[in-house]
Amino acid sequence: MAEALTCEDALILAVELGFNMIIIEGDALTIVNKAIARTDERSLSRGIFQNISAMKAFFTDLKFTHVYRSGNSHAHLLAKEGKNFSAQMMWIEEAIPTVEIAVQNDR
């Protein structure tokens, strides 16, 4: 459920920021496949995937891709660091130094 909500939040943020071409990467293959699919989802996360499907119309190019956890360490580090904040945070231009290093290592 957390991965599905994160995907939905990423799309909401991209719409609010006016992006029209994005790539959503995730290491939860089931979530990536459900985000791509146009089937009638029947799980508890049905509403989330309906929102994700509806938001696809806002983008001229939207891709959902699966990446292995080993290639996505910066996202996990950012989530871990995010637990230390009491309010929702986002970084647009720069991230915290530990995440910046992880991104460089993933390249």
Domain residue ranges in the chain: 1-67, 69-107
Give residue-wise pLDDT tens across range 33-79: 888 886 666 777 788 888 999 999 999 999 999 988 776 777 777 77
Gap between the Cα atoms of 95 and 105, Å rounded:
14
Average pLDDT, the chain: 83
pLDDT for res 58: 95
Is residue 15 over pLDDT 90?
yes
Gap between the Cα atoms of 54 and 4, Å rounded:
14
pLDDT for res 85: 79
pTM of the model as a whole: 0.74
CA distances (Å), origin 90, targets 64, 79, 81, 94: 21, 11, 12, 10
CB 32 within 8 Å of CB 26: yes
